[in-house]
Chains A and B, each alone.
Chain A
Amino acid sequence: MLTKRIIPCLDIKNGRTVKGVNFVDLRDAGDPVELAKLYSEAGADELVFLDISATEERRKTLADLVLRVAEHVNIPFTVGGGISSIADVDILLKNGADKVSINSSAVKNPDLINELAGKFGSQCITVAIDAKQINGEWIVHLVGGKVPTTLNLFDWAKEVEQRGAGEILFTSMDNDGTKDGFANDALAKLSENLNIPIIASGGAGCIQDFTDTFKIGKSDAALAASVFHFKQIDIQELKSALDAEDIPVRR
Chain B
Amino acid sequence: MKIVIIDYGAGNIQSIKFAIQRLGYQAVLSKDPEKIKAADKVIFPGVGEAGSAMRKLKESGLDKIIPQLKQPVLGICLGMQLMCAHTEEGDTTGLGVFDINIVKFTTPVKVPQIGWNQITDLKSSLFSSVAENEHVYLVHSYYAPVTSQTISKTNYGGEYSTAVQKDNFYGVQFHPEKSSVLGEQILRNFLSL
Contact = CB atoms under 8 A, between A and B. Distances in A.
B43 to A, nearest CB: 15
Contacts of A98: 12, 15, 139, 175, 178
B149 interface: no
Interface string B113-138: 11111100000000000000001010
A32 to B, nearest CB: 16
B148 interface: no
Interface in A127-149: none
A2 B115 contact: yes
Interface stretch (B31-39, B59-67, B104-112, B163-171): B104-112
A75 B18 contact: no
Contacts of B114: 123, 166-167, 197, 220
Most buried by A among B19, B116, B155: B116
Nearest to A195: B110
Given A96-B15, A123-B114, A76 B178 contact: yes
Which applies to chain B's interface (DSSP): helix, strand, loop or mixed?
mixed
A119 B112 CA distance: 16
B49 interface: yes
A74 B22 contact: yes
A220 B181 contact: no
A122 B15 contact: no
A2 B113 contact: yes
B180 A220 contact: no
Interface in B84-113: 107, 110-113
Contacts of B115: 2-5, 45-46, 197, 220-221
A18 interface: no
Interface string B142-184: 0000000000000110000000000000000001011111011
A50 to B, nearest CB: 18
Given A96-B18, A98-B178, A75 B137 contact: yes
A9 interface: no
Interface residues of A, number: 36
Contacts of A216: none
Contacts of B141: 122-123
A226 interface: no
B30 interface: no
Nearest to A2: B117
Interface string A202-242: 00000000000000000011000000000000000000000
B139 A74 contact: no
Nearest to B47: A121
A166 B112 contact: yes
B158 to A, nearest CB: 12
11 contacts: A3-B116, A40-B180, A74-B180, A75-B178, A93-B47, A95-B14, A96-B12, A122-B112, A122-B141, A250-B116, A250-B135
Interface of B: 12, 14-15, 18-19, 21-22, 47-49, 107, 110-118, 135, 137, 139-141, 155-156, 175, 177-181, 183-184
Interface of A: 1-5, 40, 45-46, 67, 70-72, 74-76, 93-96, 98-99, 118-124, 166-167, 195-197, 220-221, 250
Which 6 interchain pairs have the tightest Cβ spacing? Answer: A250-B135, A96-B14, A250-B116, A121-B48, A123-B139, A76-B178
